[in-house]
Structure 1
Amino acid sequence: MDLLVINVRGTVFKTKTATLAKAPADSPLANLDKSSEFFDSDSGEYFFDRNAEVFDTILDYFSTGRLHIPNSVCSERVREELSYWKIPESHLAKCCWKAFYQKDEDMEVLNRLLSNVPCVENKTDILSTDCCDSPYMIKTQEREQSIRDRTWKCLNNHRKGTLAKVWYAVLCFSIVVSTAIFIVQSIPMFRVDAPNTLPFPYNITSKPLLMYWYTMPHPVLMISDGILNFIFMVDWLLRLYSCPCKAEFIKGFLNILDLVAWVAIWNILWIEFYRDIFHFKGAFFVLFMIGTLYATRIFRVFRLMQHNCGVKILILSLKSSARELCILAITFACVSVIFAFLLYMSEFNSDSDIKFPNALTAIWWAIVTMTTVGCGDFYPTTPQGYFIGALCSITGILLIALPVAVTSSNFSDFYNFNKFRAKYQEALTREGREMPDHNKLDIGVPATAV
């Protein structure tokens, strides 16, 4: 019997020459003889500095024609070994698909998590300055850069020090109080009669609209709103001054809302104190547009969640489930239209007072029924209508329940990996070093060597 002895990192394998004859032509196992670079003349063995566990599966593949992977070896490492031995990944047995490709999904989730919630702060994120030949100017720019860099970190990382924590607490308190002021301004008892107000120029009887036209917020609320708005303005200007990339800062969604909000608030406060100036035609539309921009202040509550890890994980979960949610939305829209027209036609000859006036109203009924809201403003009144309504309700429950498992599974994955990230961050903190780049080897071996 013609046998070959192969030593893989100290593990000795004996196999038939006929078995290795099935190896691909470009594999290191093809055409092994004493002139091969892998032959050790002292021991009479062929030596390979590779993973022994995976090599056992390679020999098993040559013998049986079925490629199975060991569960004790990372699938990424198995992929590297298959690439080295020139074994196509497509030959993997179906029973090993889950174990092999699950790691790819896990790494995708982990990489997405780390891109949004990194383990440590990127310490290379410094401000760029223009080059200058003058030593004095270089020192001045370096000093200014250092101030700006510290200001940026203080304003955007509330764990950076005592001052950062105090400023973050002030901002959170200001956002909460400012939102509360915006809410209580809509209550008549917190408003006073506005002086020198012209009669409402339009034939509109809306009580809230007339209240805002003839009254103004209590002066205490307006003064408090001005003080809080000054804090928001200073915070925005400081972040703009210290931002490493001002173009990206200006394009930020929350930054745009902040700018619009505090500019609109100053305009609204000025208008409330000087109402007698707005005695011209079209003043209502000007006030309406400024008031609409003024309402954007409510979006400041998102800044309370901006640095919350749990909220980031929830957003990542929703983004990961975007495909399933999009399919749900399309299916939901189609089914709601179908049930709406079925009910509209079934109730077409009904003489009830709760008759659907048009198909759009029927679509509204289908949406609130399928979402189990049930406003009760429109409902079926005939036996066939009851039957269609029951089918609509059951279908809505089933449609909404289907993607819940996918969304909750994605959230669970991100949540669990975030716990692993937190433990790894604790280890980095204890060792006092930055997060390594796992795409590079840190043992002095070139990446091409593997």
Structure 2
Amino acid sequence: MENYIRISVRGTEYVTSSPAVRDLVEKLSKDGHAVIGPSGDCFIDRSPVLFHKVLDYLSGRKFHLPKGICAIEAREELEFWMIPIEAVPNCCYEVLFDDNLSSYDAIEKEEEQLIQGVSPEEENNAPKNKIQKFRTILNKAVQDPFSCLLGKIWLLILAVLTLTTLVCFVLNTVEEYRIDRDTLPNISNNKTYNYFYSNPKRKMLLTKIKPLERAYIEGSCNAVLLLDLILKFIISHRKKAFLLNLQNILELIAGVMCFLVINVDSNPGILIDHPDLGFLVLVIGALYSLRVLKLLRLAETTAEMKILKLCFYRSWKVLCFLVMVFTIFSVIFGCGMFWAEFNNPDTFPNIPISIWWAIVTITTVGYGDFYPKSTSGYIMASVTAMIGLSLIAIPIATLSANFNTFYTCFTYRKKYIKAKQESKESKVKGVFITQC
């Protein structure tokens, strides 16, 4: 047994004759990670879970990883036993890197961006006065509306107000839900008359007005939504981050634009005296349409919406690559369709139109405004459609995989937080009972 070395890893004994193991033990001993006894036996205070795999590797075999082991632990063991990562075969890459740690970090980072409120450290260090306690209660209602009655009530109010403003916004564009103006503004010249009456949408804006009751309801709901945004800013401990948040900026713009739209709608003479402001009306109306983003704010109170948003964040590289590939194939097949239908004067007058057709076909929309009429065009269209189906499958698979990953991480993380809170509460109750 002189050529053998006995190694004890937390009480689990191994016997080997590998010279590489002796060298490893000597290195660990120099670093203070191993203790060599007088008889030459070695003791290592380390988990023995993977040590038999280490012995296989040092004996000339590959370092295979067992299924079900934590990938972070596996990488730590590789570093401790001085095994290069290149020694891990391809069949074990999934075990080695499937730790989902980045997914947990992404969830925490996303929640921090969405909450914009009190973090646990800030809450513990906050002064315990009445104002701060009230502020903490409001932050809790904003962070997790379903955790308290106040949050549920306020979330319901915001949902009703948001849906009301959206319904008013949609009905304001329907002529049947507008009423005739009492007095039509005077039109100065024929040019202005033709400008407004040649377009039914401009004519509706000029000759009809939204009912006064709806205008009051829309303005009141929008004012409350603006107050909600201001209240969130006041109670937020990270005001700079709150101001730089893109969704908060868009909601503020939409709230301001609402009152501008009401003002322009009630005073069409402004447009008649200044027809050049017609473009400005389009901009104001488009910005007011950002009100629909408030629905995302309401949806983000659910775990599934947070996960979906994270999926897009995680998949943005793949999606950008897909857009680039879509663009390349659209140009290729668009040019091909133009030349395939070159002898047909009734279809595809130019390459830009052909590229538009290729985009519509690859995305499987198929408006039918342009279509081939020759045999070569049919062949080109068939190839384009099949390529489009192949490309569409890429983002669906990517988003699905990321959604499953994030959903699993989110579920386990919520269970962990709940168990931790229950453990903390049980300890507090135990201390209370002991003191009593």
**TM-score, scaled to structure 2:** 0.84
CA contact (8 A) 1:185 1:191 kept: yes
> Which of 312, 319, 324 is equivalent to 1:325?
319
Q: Give the superposed CA RMSD.
A: 3.1
Q: Deviations over 1:224-276 (max 9, x none)?
A: 11221121122122122222122222222221122112222222323444445
Moved more, 148-157 or 234-243: 148-157
In structure 2, do the counterparts of structure 1 residues 244 and 406 end up closer, same or farther at CA, with 3 Å as the change threshold?
same
Instruction: Give 1:174-253 correspondences, 5 Å limit.
Output: 174-194=161-181, 195-199=183-187, 201=192, 203-204=194-195, 205-253=198-246
1:155, 1:18 → 2: CA distance? 63
Q: Deviations over 1:344-363 (max 9, x none)?
A: 112222133xx212111111
* Residue type of the alignment partner of 2:152: K
1:234, 1:267 → 2: CA distance? 17
In structure 2, do the counterparts of structure 1 residues 340 and 24 end up closer, same or farther at CA, with 3 Å as the change threshold?
farther
Quote the residue 1:97 is aligned against: 93
Q: Deviations over 1:274-326 (max 9, x none)?
A: 44566633454454443333332232222221212111111222222222222
Instruction: Give 1:277-292 correspondences, 5 Å limit.
Output: 280-281=273-274, 282-292=276-286
Q: Does 1:18 align with 2:29?
A: no
* Residue type of the alignment partner of 1:337: V
2:359, 2:222 → 1: CA distance? 40
Of Structure 1 and Structure 2, the greater helix share is in: 2
Deviation at 1:91, TM superposition (A): 2.1
In structure 2, do the counterparts of structure 1 residues 344 and 415 end up closer, same or farther at CA, with 3 Å as the change threshold?
same
1:289, 1:323 → 2: CA distance? 31
Deviation at 1:83, TM superposition (A): 2.3
> Which of 304, 313, 325 is equivalent to 1:310?
304
2:72, 2:105 → 1: CA distance? 14
Q: Deviations over 1:84-135 (max 9, x none)?
A: 23232322234333322223xx2222332343358x9842234999xxxxxx
Q: Does 1:300 align with 2:287?
A: no
In structure 2, do the counterparts of structure 1 residues 94 and 269 end up closer, same or farther at CA, with 3 Å as the change threshold?
closer
Quote the residue 2:8 is aligned against: 7
1:176, 1:15 → 2: CA distance? 73
Quote the residue 1:167 is aligned against: 154
Local SS of the residue matching 1:374: coil
Q: Does 1:60 align with 2:56?
A: yes
Quote the residue 2:36 is aligned against: 39
Deviation at 1:12, TM superposition (A): 1.6
In structure 2, do the counterparts of structure 1 residues 4 and 269 end up closer, same or farther at CA, with 3 Å as the change threshold?
same
1:128, 1:225 → 2: CA distance? 41
**Unaligned regions of 5+ residues in structure 2, if any?**
427-436
* Residue type of the alignment partner of 1:398: S
2:23, 2:40 → 1: CA distance? 22
1:102, 1:277 → 2: CA distance? 62
In structure 2, do the counterparts of structure 1 residues 371 and 254 end up closer, same or farther at CA, with 3 Å as the change threshold?
same
> Which of 120, 124, 137 is equivalent to 1:123?
120
**Unaligned regions of 5+ residues in structure 1, if any?**
130-137, 435-450
In structure 2, do the counterparts of structure 1 residues 334 and 12 end up closer, same or farther at CA, with 3 Å as the change threshold?
same
1:149, 1:366 → 2: CA distance? 55
Quote the residue 2:431 is aligned against: none
In structure 2, do the counterparts of structure 1 residues 107 and 345 end up closer, same or farther at CA, with 3 Å as the change threshold?
same
Deviation at 1:405, TM superposition (A): 2.3
In structure 2, do the counterparts of structure 1 residues 344 and 148 end up closer, same or farther at CA, with 3 Å as the change threshold?
same
Quote the residue 1:441 is aligned against: none
* Residue type of the alignment partner of 1:421: R
Local SS of the residue matching 1:5: strand
* Residue type of the alignment partner of 2:86: S
2:230, 2:370 → 1: CA distance? 51
Local SS of the residue matching 1:186: coil
* Residue type of the alignment partner of 2:290: T
Deviation at 1:197, TM superposition (A): 2.1
Local SS of the residue matching 2:16: strand
Local SS of the residue matching 1:381: coil
In structure 2, do the counterparts of structure 1 residues 336 and 24 end up closer, same or farther at CA, with 3 Å as the change threshold?
farther
Residues paired across the two proteins, number: 414
Local SS of the residue matching 1:68: coil
Q: Does 1:262 align with 2:255?
A: yes
* Residue type of the alignment partner of 1:313: I
Moved more, 417-426 or 326-335: 417-426
* Residue type of the alignment partner of 1:375: Y
Moved more, 419-428 or 270-279: 270-279
Instruction: Give 1:283-432 correspondences, 5 Å limit.
Output: 283-352=277-346, 355-432=347-424
Deviation at 1:29, TM superposition (A): 8.7
Deviation at 1:380, TM superposition (A): 0.8
Local SS of the residue matching 1:124: helix
Q: Deviations over 1:114-161 (max 9, x none)?
A: 43358x9842234999xxxxxxxx99xx55444444434334431353
CA contact (8 A) 2:20 2:59 kept: yes
CA contact (8 A) 2:348 2:370 kept: yes
Local SS of the residue matching 2:14: strand
Quote the residue 2:432 is aligned against: none
Local SS of the residue matching 2:120: coil
Identity %: 28
Moved more, 90-99 or 242-251: 90-99
Moved more, 208-217 or 90-99: 90-99
Deviation at 1:21, TM superposition (A): 4.2
